[in-house]
Structure 1
């Protein structure tokens, strides 16, 4: 058999001279994205009022646009907080407004963000949904797809890869390339030339004294003279981030306004702040980064003195997460009350925004998702200065807020951009916390997040999230912890969906063995791994072992969860799809298996994913039993449901349409069946590639239908 089904799928081969495969999948099939995250608007919050002392760098960047040449890569490097992103933002605005370039902005902080952003770039440059789906699911190289569309772009472009502080991420998959159609600009803390072969490096350092003073005067013009501002700037090391925070503080003192002299006297106090700036290259002997901690600490002290300690608490909570856009909806939950009263969260956030301690950014097209963003250097310094006794409560609260943003039981549904936004925060929190109970709770959130990604078809992001989370948590909890094993189980199922069957089998066998030893064969976690393993075994050709394991899983789930639990019904539905005609007749006589769709509808509802999947498998069973009119009617209704829910390009919809082509042809509507199969073959070739087993099987079926046309 050439075909390979996935999850609850089953590959069937007809006897005689036919060789035809069907694919069925009901474990939350891939979803069409509602639209790619916006790459046309930089997610950088408020730009500076005036960009000081970056004329030489900007002139060099503009010269690349003036020359109308391509194949350029520029790397802006420097310590955190020195204004690399601000320079990139200014150049982005110039390139788009004055030179007519298409501006494309991608966050390159981690693999998931980079991959998501670059696929959005491909979509912007004309990639079709099917091609994007294939790249997202690992069926074709994602970087090749992106750069093919960049190279064929009708418009010249500027691509900004912001916060690329781990250059290895760009190397993996060859994301950083050149094209005669555009210019690439990278911002990073890593300056070593080995990371940027062929690129032109531009150092972004601290500001000259006069320009640094003018930054303070831009922000707080009435608090002191230019000379006084220069004194403050010297004490802050002339670091743009520190200057921005200081200026924001000075400009917002109303009841008891501070002058620059007063501010300077407070800066003379030594504060126990050790700033963390992971990944930065040493740029000078007199590194002024520790002064950022002093700057924000003065602001927080003022909050406490003025009766707004909640702002301090909120910043410490946000600092437990990643320096990435965080949906504001995450903070709008009762769970935040463990750190600060929910009713005070609004005023606390406004205070942080007003003083430039965090920024508001909108992510996505149109109105987008409203998010809050903190600078990495600032957040690291806040973490370093947070009392150790507060860390467990902050970590536990952050984990519960992230968990509350996810459904308790993720199901198939439309693409949700919030999922990818949450992923870096879950990983960052796992790295921050050291309390075993908190680690276990956050790991459960990470597994649930990966499951939600899995069931919207974002398999690479699901793998990156749960694989990294399990590795981090295992250092604290050990490999045999229940939460770690559950994460490994989900990782194995994601490997299966990525087409890495051998790895998936090894991972799931190892996980299932450990779970059975620790919790027993009928434990729900063991049964979940068993269900995943039987899918892999079936696709590897171990049909007998797969069916034995599936029967045991269905029986175990019925005993542990009850006969009408969705997982029990899902396993029984898989049995419905796994049997031949004679076996179906015998099984129906024993257990009434063919009545399963009605039982699902009665106990779960007719629109439940498991109910629709059971009807799909039931239609296949009817077709095998020769009940063609019934099979055709049922698969027609199922197909319409899938098309409305998932769109026309996704495997679950294509599998249903392929079965519909067979039923229509068997009933004598040959031309209609061939037309359906023509469309299925074209869509599978586009989304999976010409040589994918599903495409090959569909093409064989189409050829057979044409040969048998009267």
Structure 2
């Protein structure tokens, strides 16, 4: 704040905001009460009071605020004059009659802060951008023409300033290079006034854009002007209004001088920059790739911090954000320098990644901030600040729809999101997006991309990705939390609709291979709504996509991913809903099915027993879900060698399913199918075959001849043929089945491997041991790799291979 003959003067946005906050406190009003009295949105008032943005010059907002707060005439005059000063970027307060101006304070340095380059790691992944800028700007400074103004835009922390510093260092010899702070109109105005003074202007006369640019155009010799950190391009670069590309504000085409301008900003939107102009080129600065990010981490954290793969995984977790990579790399280096007796969590890349996986972002970044040699803000704060600034700007530009879409996308994960998921009809059915259309969806996505908040890729599908640090920050924001239910329910609904969009029979059923291409595109996101809703009651309503995703991963044979997804979903749901909630029990059931598939029979048996008891108590003993868990407990008993118990339970569940679901229901057929396998194992082949042929007929009619469930029944029938001693027929039948199963499910699917194993057994029984052994060796190799050496199926193949004479 400045005191003088003109009264109090607030020279920064923070001082201006502090005065508004003082008046608010004096009036004894909350933000909500102020909002109700002034009709100014709470978010906008919050921005004024936090110093994130200023009231518009021609808006009634400031007058309304001052009226409600009972400001005096002196306070009104001081704030009105200061707003004009801060918005216009001029060093003359509006209403002054002379040429004198408030003292701008100490003379500013215009030297680029090149010392920052000396303390950072090697700049990686920017070679092509730096080479292009070097050529283009070098051509301009040599008087050869070309585009004079280049704008670097991207998410905060993406390294725009570092790129600008490298450019400054490259041109700092024998040329004028000016570095000006562009964070707000006043800062830019003071910097431009210093340039004018260096070029022969007066400190005591008004120095506006026209005066500065006359001096720049008349300057002798090459020059480069870098304006760093322009977060609100329209307000900062055009203090008197108009469009940036009009060329009448602080940014103009260089027409006569051998000069060029480089700007850094987080806002690359067409709305802010008023579309293309022949004298201005926008250049996006995106995140680093996995490899380059890993090199940054390894250079700072040291090779002993972990493998290249671990560094790449942590780089991906940090979204390739250069500032995050630098600070976390330094944190790891400092942690490794401490004695082993000190208990610190981030000594390695894997350990640091584990901290992020359990949600300790803020704790890790707080440590990173303390470890940073220059005390800069943590990447979490910077990412949050960058996107909050972007959201504030979007709100100021009258675009709440785009902000709402960002928050909805936050309920997904950082994996690529198919654009087709964002159906305008479903969006418009939500209270968040009244009257949403495809054009408006595309416009909102374009704006988010221009602000660096999302990435867009067009091959092989149109995909969208969010930066993981942006997701973490968004999920903690009060504006997101205020509408949490709406956002997570919409995201879950979009995923469910995407899964059901497949046109084949059994549409959306994750057990149906026809739907697998769709599931492959969305499976990574099905945990997103659950993670976003963690700890909130609405979580109970968004569990369905997660459970269906687990079913898809299990059905398609990806048991390792299925287990991780199921375990994560169970943990999140258990904390919020308790162990007897039907949704939690459904996820727990799926988890135990995966344990069964992985051959961990004792774990599966114990888990199913607990689920059966709870489902029986919560849902009832005849409920289809209770019967499902009892059915799988019987399968575990069969595979553990307890055929008598398995037969008894299978028969009980079959009888109940016939009563509750009907004889032709899919689950009833599954019960008949499994009961038949136990009968066959116990020597009752005729009963088993009659039952299996009935199931096959019904499954072929209801599901199709190549459905995975139909193939399971065909395999049981082929096994029966082998048990009856019909080796030659069995070999031919199982050979056809193995080929068909491989085509439908894939070469490494557990059921394909089971069919190939059975084929080898049939070949040995038919007197073809060499072919059998060759096939068994191949199956053993794949089962060991896919299922593990300790899996019962792997052991069965190894045991069968040992039957070879002489082994």
- State the TM-score, normalized to the length of structure 2: 0.53
Partner of 1:403: 496
The CA deviation at 1:611 is 0.7
Residues 387/518 of structure 1: CA separation in 2 closer, same or farther (3 Å cut): closer
Matched position secondary structure for 1:360: strand
Structure 2 distance, partners of 1:198, 1:303, is 44
Partner of 1:21: none
1:393 paired to 2:478:
no
The CA deviation at 1:302 is 3.3
Partner of 1:161: 314
1:634 paired to 2:733:
yes
The CA deviation at 1:633 is 3.3
Matched position secondary structure for 2:510: coil
Residues 514/196 of structure 1: CA separation in 2 closer, same or farther (3 Å cut): closer
Matched position secondary structure for 1:579: helix
**What whole-Å deviation, never above 9, does each CA across 1:525-563 have from its counterpart, x for those lacking one?**
112211222222223333222222222223333332222
- Checking the alignment, whether the CA contact within 8 Å between 2:638 and 2:678 is kept in structure 1 is no
The CA deviation at 1:588 is 4.9
The CA deviation at 1:477 is 2.7
**What whole-Å deviation, never above 9, does each CA across 1:241-288 have from its counterpart, x for those lacking one?**
xxxxxxxxxxxxxxxxxxxxxxxxxxxxxxxxxxx9575215268957
Which of the numbers 334, 344, 347 marks the counterpart of 1:197? 347
1:353 paired to 2:473:
no
Structure 2 distance, partners of 1:631, 1:186, is 64
Which of the numbers 412, 416, 429 marks the counterpart of 2:532? 429
Which has the higher Rg, Structure 1 or Structure 2?
Answer: 2
- Checking the alignment, whether the CA contact within 8 Å between 1:521 and 1:527 is kept in structure 2 is yes
Matched position secondary structure for 2:465: strand
Which of the numbers 635, 660, 671 marks the counterpart of 1:560? 660
Q: Which runs of 5+ in 1 are unaligned?
A: 1-49, 63-79, 92-102, 109-145, 152-156, 167-183, 203-275
Structure 1 distance, partners of 2:674, 2:540, is 32
Partner of 2:265: none
- Checking the alignment, whether the CA contact within 8 Å between 2:718 and 2:733 is kept in structure 1 is yes
The CA deviation at 1:614 is 0.5
Matched position secondary structure for 1:557: helix
Q: Which runs of 5+ in 2 are unaligned?
A: 1-111, 125-154, 167-288, 295-305, 320-324, 336-343, 353-360, 501-507
Structure 2 distance, partners of 1:185, 1:286, is 11
- Checking the alignment, whether the CA contact within 8 Å between 2:695 and 2:713 is kept in structure 1 is yes
Structure 1 distance, partners of 2:115, 2:452, is 21
Structure 1 distance, partners of 2:489, 2:113, is 40
Structure 2 distance, partners of 1:623, 1:633, is 11
Partner of 2:395: 301
The CA deviation at 1:622 is 1.8
Structure 2 distance, partners of 1:409, 1:508, is 24
Which of the numbers 580, 586, 590 marks the counterpart of 1:486? 586
Structure 1 distance, partners of 2:419, 2:491, is 13
- Checking the alignment, whether the CA contact within 8 Å between 1:165 and 1:189 is kept in structure 2 is no
Which of the numbers 745, 755, 763 marks the counterpart of 1:646? 745
Which of the numbers 401, 405, 408 marks the counterpart of 1:310? 401
The CA deviation at 1:81 is 5.1
- Checking the alignment, whether the CA contact within 8 Å between 1:327 and 1:369 is kept in structure 2 is yes
Which of the numbers 557, 562, 570 marks the counterpart of 1:457? 557
Aligned runs of 1:49-198 on 2, under 5 Å?
55-56=117-118, 59=121, 82-83=157-158, 104-105=290-291, 159=312, 161-162=314-315, 164=317, 187=328, 193=335, 194-197=344-347
**What whole-Å deviation, never above 9, does each CA across 1:218-249 have from its counterpart, x for those lacking one?**
xxxxxxxxxxxxxxxxxxxxxxxxxxxxxxxx
The CA deviation at 1:515 is 0.5
Higher relative contact order (CA 8 A, sep 6+): 1
Structure 1 distance, partners of 2:527, 2:645, is 39
- Checking the alignment, whether the CA contact within 8 Å between 1:636 and 1:660 is kept in structure 2 is yes
Residues 707/522 of structure 1: CA separation in 2 closer, same or farther (3 Å cut): farther
Partner of 2:31: none
Structure 2 distance, partners of 1:469, 1:639, is 34
- Checking the alignment, whether the CA contact within 8 Å between 1:646 and 1:653 is kept in structure 2 is yes
Partner of 1:332: 423
Aligned runs of 1:611-622 on 2, under 5 Å?
611-622=710-721
The CA deviation at 1:472 is 2.2
- Checking the alignment, whether the CA contact within 8 Å between 2:599 and 2:791 is kept in structure 1 is no
Which of the numbers 675, 684, 704 marks the counterpart of 1:605? 704
Aligned runs of 1:411-422 on 2, under 5 Å?
411=511, 413=513, 417-419=520-522, 421-422=524-525
Structure 1 distance, partners of 2:778, 2:454, is 50
Aligned runs of 1:224-243 on 2, under 5 Å?
none
Structure 2 distance, partners of 1:553, 1:539, is 18
Q: How many residues align?
A: 486
Partner of 1:548: 648
Structure 2 distance, partners of 1:626, 1:579, is 17
- State the TM-score, normalized to the length of structure 1: 0.59
Matched position secondary structure for 2:365: coil
The CA deviation at 1:383 is 5.5
The CA deviation at 1:301 is 1.9
Which of the numbers 700, 703, 707 marks the counterpart of 2:799? 700
1:676 paired to 2:775:
yes
Residues 647/387 of structure 1: CA separation in 2 closer, same or farther (3 Å cut): closer
Partner of 2:464: 371
Matched position secondary structure for 1:386: helix
- Checking the alignment, whether the CA contact within 8 Å between 1:104 and 1:159 is kept in structure 2 is yes
Structure 2 distance, partners of 1:563, 1:452, is 26
The CA deviation at 1:189 is 10
Structure 2 distance, partners of 1:106, 1:501, is 44
Residues 674/186 of structure 1: CA separation in 2 closer, same or farther (3 Å cut): farther
- Checking the alignment, whether the CA contact within 8 Å between 1:303 and 1:312 is kept in structure 2 is no
**What whole-Å deviation, never above 9, does each CA across 1:402-431 have from its counterpart, x for those lacking one?**
222335421164686535531552342232
Residues 197/574 of structure 1: CA separation in 2 closer, same or farther (3 Å cut): same
Report the RMSD for the aligned CA atoms in angstroms: 4.3
Structure 2 distance, partners of 1:617, 1:333, is 47
1:280 paired to 2:365:
yes
Structure 1 distance, partners of 2:701, 2:640, is 35
Structure 1 distance, partners of 2:743, 2:114, is 53
Structure 2 distance, partners of 1:472, 1:85, is 38
Structure 2 distance, partners of 1:548, 1:51, is 80
Partner of 2:186: none
The CA deviation at 1:323 is 5.0
The CA deviation at 1:505 is 1.6
Structure 2 distance, partners of 1:397, 1:672, is 55
Structure 2 distance, partners of 1:294, 1:371, is 20
The CA deviation at 1:481 is 1.5
Aligned runs of 1:3-18 on 2, under 5 Å?
none
Aligned runs of 1:489-504 on 2, under 5 Å?
489-504=589-604
The CA deviation at 1:592 is 4.2
**What whole-Å deviation, never above 9, does each CA across 1:443-477 have from its counterpart, x for those lacking one?**
12211111112222222332222222223223333
Partner of 1:515: 615
- Checking the alignment, whether the CA contact within 8 Å between 1:485 and 1:515 is kept in structure 2 is yes
Structure 1 distance, partners of 2:530, 2:291, is 23
1:471 paired to 2:562:
no
